[in-house]
Amino acid sequence: MLMIGTTVAGELAFSNLREAVAGGQGQVKWGYTGKEGPQNWGNLSPEYQVCQAGLQQSPIDLQQAINANLSDLQITSQQVALKIQNNGHTIQVNTDPGNTLIIDGTSYELIQFHFHHPSEHTVENQFYPMEAHFVHKSKAGNFAVLGVFLKEGRENAALNPIWDAMPSQKKSEAPILGSTLEISALFPTDQSTYRYFGSLTTPPCSELVKWIVFQEPIEASKAQIEQFRQIFPLNARPIQALNRRFLLSEE
């Protein structure tokens, strides 16, 4: 895996990265449309160059996956207090320690999850209405992100505490009082996944991410999806080239 640099520049880049992941934004303003949009991210700041120059970018279209004997996901989930923010790019829920993902012998801690409309990954060029990203970080500073598609269906009760507290305008972190959530309530029953190596889907687009995307979507009601869409009509980065990577999946 990628080593975190020990130089001053490396440390600086890493602290910016942590801020980016924690706050959903880099140092320089970016967006999803116009001059600040994804086509220009690589030109907005030297820190964002990899958004344009990188060859392991995310999201990608999930198709023609290689069937592989993938290692099990060991997910430890418990009820944690929730803190919610609208960071101007998404609705993000910051989580206290206690939810871990062990994959391929490395332990990652859940630090936050957030939502995109429409989905960022596609399956054979088809979008889902939404996608949730559960961002896990290892002690070494690498990321494992669990992606969960949301399709239109029944109301999802596990989303309600978040949806009820969702700020429609940019707003700093605030606790969702009286609410805890068992995170795994937002994961599908079927644990089959797609896996590949990629990047953050927002600037600085760092290529430090082990992507694990569940094949089975969870459901959200039309009204739940509409409530998010009203706030973020479009907060999904376009599909990136697979290049020389392998997309793996399991039966």
Out of 117, 133, 136, 137, the residue judged to bind Zn ion by CB under 5 A: 133
Q: Min. distance of Cβ 246 from Zn ion in angstroms?
A: 22
Burial class (CB in 10 A: 0-12, 13-18, 19+), 16: middle
Query: Looking at beta carbons, which residue is closest to Zn ion?
Result: 133
- 92 or 178, CB closer to Zn ion? 92
| Cα four-point dihedral sign 55, 112, 173, 231 | positive
Here the tokens at position 142 are 């690498």
Q: Which range, of 2-10, 27-35, 69-77, 132-140, touches Zn ion by CB under 5 A?
A: 132-140
* Shortest Cβ 24–Zn ion spacing (Å): 8
137 binds Zn ion, rule: CB under 5 A? no
Please tell me whether residue 121 binds Zn ion under the rule CB under 5 A: no
CA distance 92 to 134: 10
- Nearer to Zn ion among residue 79 and residue 123 (C-beta): 123
Do 192 and 41 contact (CB within 8 A), yes or no?
no
- Please tell me whether residue 136 binds Zn ion under the rule CB under 5 A: no
By the 8 A CB rule, do 65 and 194 touch? yes
**Strand, coil or helix: 43:** helix
Q: CA-CA distances (angstroms) from residue 188 to 65, 134, 167, 214, 218? A: 20, 13, 26, 7, 6
Please identify, using beta-carbon distances, which residue of 25 and 79 lies nearer to Zn ion. 25
Specify the stretch interacting with Zn ion by CB under 5 A; choose among 51-59, 76-84, 129-137, 183-191: 129-137
- In angstroms, give the least distance from the CB of 178 to Zn ion: 27
Nearer to Zn ion, 231 or 250 (CB): 231
State the residues that interact with Zn ion by CB under 5 A. Answer: 133
